[in-house]
Structure 1
Amino acid sequence: MGLQLGVALGYWDAGPPPGVADLVAEAERLGYDSIWAAEAYGSDALTPLAWLGAGTTRVRLGTSIAQMAARTPAATAMAAMTLDHLSGGRFVLGLGASGPQVTEGWYGQPYPRPLARTREYVQIVRTLVARGRSEFTGEHFTLPVPGGTGLGKPLRSTLHPLRADLPIVLAAEGPRNVALAAEIADGWLAMFYSPYDDALYRAALAEGFAREGARRSAEDFEVFCRVNVVIDDDVEAAADRVRPYLALYIGGMGARGANFHYEVFARMGFEAECAGIQEHYLAGRRDEAAAAVTTTMVERVALVGPRAKIAEELTVWRESLLTTMTVSADVSQLAAIAELVHG
């Protein structure tokens, strides 16, 4: 099948971004496989997919990600089944733990032990989607809840799922999380994946696939990753479009010493650069933080520059772990990207 294309819609800033419906319509017309909506602490990931999905017939609709702290496992199962029905079986449930700042500060939920919490969460969602009873006793979740009135009872979904095994994919950046995705999920939502530095990820996936009871193998496991693609004859100008995005995540998405995105680039060998970016960002010097993102850092995780340069670099991406490249791009560049990727 080769490398598939998706569109990363992200989450909204101060308001709904203009032109998204046209972007999605053009992506479907060009044969893109999927669209992905995100959430942080503003717009949610599910509502835009329901709205935009109504105007499509083929593209898959994925959350990248639905944050686990935002909804109980039961609420997530309900939303997933509902959207899967509405879209005719095109929904992909992308889940992630987010980070402690958002989980504890925005949702008021505990963050410790995210891997164990994820394992329980996914197990409950799968059970409820398959119309199993709401009975579970774990370290992080218990159904029915103990205490209270004592009147809670195990229930089955009144809604019959369109697909009892609708796909669940997990966001992961560290090797332990990636191994967990390979063990219990149908795919991995990578972020800041670099095909030039992926030995750690290949080993982590292999470890997960080898675990007893692993759900899938390397042959039927999907790997999605957002990749910024900017076609421009001026490489530096193209990289300038990506630098603020990387600076935000390396410098501002997480506290000092607790930023998973920072750690990804540090593992690539950019520890000194990351420290400078974070220092600038946390001090409020966002322009300086962006300027401190080197072009080499951009080129490890993005495709920037003239068409010929991108075409050459795509060879490495086609040989990578990715099955779907979800691009963040203007509607005017969707056709050019599709031509470069698919020929």
Structure 2
Amino acid sequence: MKLGLQLGYWAAQPPANAQELVTEADRSGFDAVFSAESWGNDAFTPLAWWGSSTERIRLGTSVAQLSARTPTAAAMHALTLDHLSGGRAILGLGVSGPQVVEGWYGEPFEKPLARTREYVSIIRKVLAREAPVTNDGPHHPLPYSGPGALGLGKPLKPITHPLRADLPIWLGAEGPKNVALTAEIADGWLAIYYTPRLADMYNEWLDEGFARPGARRSREDFEIAATCQVVVTDDRAGEIARMKPITALYVGGMGAAEMNFHAQVYTRMGYGDVVTEIQRLFLSGRKEEAMSIVPDEMVTDTMIIGNGDEVRQQLKVWEDAGVTMLLVHARDVEQMRQLASVVNPA
């Protein structure tokens, strides 16, 4: 089992000890470090800044939002980071949600699957650098010839030769159609709120994608990186209680009541009734009450919490389910060393 350090996106200020964590991740055997974006910091700059002091760890976005930049701009970011890091970049992409896409980026959210397919296809063309990049699709036409165009657009190849034409592209996906698309066109799946209990269901979605004509990967060379808080503790109950506000926030507040992808994930897990109640309370401003009704199982289904032996037993369950990397948060260097020693003991 590989470990990835998930730095996430910033709150009001940059995290104070991020450089220390990234340096320790590189030193203690973590496979990758990931940075995210929401509507504050971007996902690429932290990797270039903090990653410049590392030697071996991979540097990934988890995720860069599709609507934040055109596909050619995303390819420019990725090829730049790949050169600067000596071939260690992972381009993790995701569609985000309609509140962010339409409210922050001013773009339509409709047809996210078609937009993703087109976006990834253009990036592949940029990285391959085999011909000037063109695209006939409706979402990102190249050259642009729509309203306001001067008709002078010219197909171009990147001036800078990409270091790797096969720079890995991973997709953040939650629903069945998006996961199947990920298996078809991507090199890895960034899974949020994954639970081994539903591994058979996820594998059906993935197998649908792998079986499609022209699928890029097979199960044997496809990576599944699951966000999973791993906490080694003798106070399991106390740690579960501390995690409940995070679960309530994402289920109840990260999306509209009629379209919250995180809530849909937990509904598929069998928590539909409690999800509805959490959303009702959270969106009416009763956040403390929403947090209080989160059952323990909603936390432990998607996280690993316990003493060293319990954590090692659960790691085997996740690995047997097909997960190849756990994306973990860490508050300090000592916790990172503890995680590394438990997950991959010498």
Q: TM-score, normalised by structure 1?
A: 0.97
3-state SS in 2 of match to 1:224: strand
Q: Counterparts in 2 of 1:96-175, with a 5 A limit?
A: 96-131=94-129, 132-147=131-146, 148-175=149-176
Whether the aligned pair in 2 keeps the contact of 1:230 and 1:329 (CA below 8 Å) is: no
Distance 2:267 2:341 in 1: 33
1:221 matched residue in structure 2? 222
Distance 1:7 1:280 in 2: 32
- Identity across the alignment (%): 52
Letter in 2 for 1:174: G
3-state SS in 2 of match to 1:196: helix
Aligned-pair CA distance for 1:185: 0.5
Distance 1:251 1:221 in 2: 32
Distance 2:290 2:231 in 1: 20
2:296 matched residue in structure 1? 295
3-state SS in 2 of match to 1:136: coil
2:46 matched residue in structure 1? 48
Aligned-pair CA distance for 1:272: 1.3
Q: Which ranges of structure 1 fall in alignment gaps of 5 or more residues?
A: none
Say how many residue pairs are matched: 341
1:316 matched residue in structure 2? 317
Distance 1:306 1:294 in 2: 21
| Cα displacement string for residues 28-65 of structure 1 (whole angstroms, at most 9, x for unaligned residues) | 11100000000111111111001111010110000000
Letter in 2 for 1:336: Q
Whether the aligned pair in 2 keeps the contact of 1:120 and 1:141 (CA below 8 Å) is: yes
Q: Counterparts in 2 of 1:245-264, with a 5 A limit?
A: 245-264=246-265
Work out whether 1:7 is the aligned partner of 2:8. no
Work out whether 1:237 is the aligned partner of 2:235. no
| Cα displacement string for residues 220-243 of structure 1 (whole angstroms, at most 9, x for unaligned residues) | 000111111222211121112321
3-state SS in 2 of match to 1:193: coil
Worse-matched range after superposition: 304-313 or 106-115: 304-313
2:208 matched residue in structure 1? 207
Distance 1:230 1:243 in 2: 14
1:84 matched residue in structure 2? 82
1:336 matched residue in structure 2? 338
Distance 2:230 2:293 in 1: 20
Worse-matched range after superposition: 60-69 or 225-234: 225-234
Distance 2:289 2:37 in 1: 26
Distance 1:34 1:292 in 2: 35
Whether the aligned pair in 2 keeps the contact of 1:133 and 1:155 (CA below 8 Å) is: yes
1:278 matched residue in structure 2? 279
3-state SS in 2 of match to 1:137: coil
Distance 1:229 1:295 in 2: 15
3-state SS in 1 of match to 2:270: coil
3-state SS in 1 of match to 2:313: helix
Aligned-pair CA distance for 1:311: 2.3
Whether the aligned pair in 2 keeps the contact of 1:231 and 1:238 (CA below 8 Å) is: no
3-state SS in 2 of match to 1:111: coil
Distance 1:304 1:284 in 2: 29
Aligned-pair CA distance for 1:315: 2.1
Letter in 1 for 2:92: G
Letter in 2 for 1:130: A
1:190 matched residue in structure 2? 191
Letter in 2 for 1:50: A
| Cα displacement string for residues 177-230 of structure 1 (whole angstroms, at most 9, x for unaligned residues) | 010000000111100000111222100110100000000100000011111122
Letter in 2 for 1:67: Q
1:95 matched residue in structure 2? 93
1:60 matched residue in structure 2? 58
Distance 1:287 1:311 in 2: 33
| Cα displacement string for residues 152-185 of structure 1 (whole angstroms, at most 9, x for unaligned residues) | 1111110001101101011100011010000000
2:26 matched residue in structure 1? 28
Distance 2:127 2:312 in 1: 42
Distance 1:49 1:242 in 2: 27
Aligned-pair CA distance for 1:339: 1.9
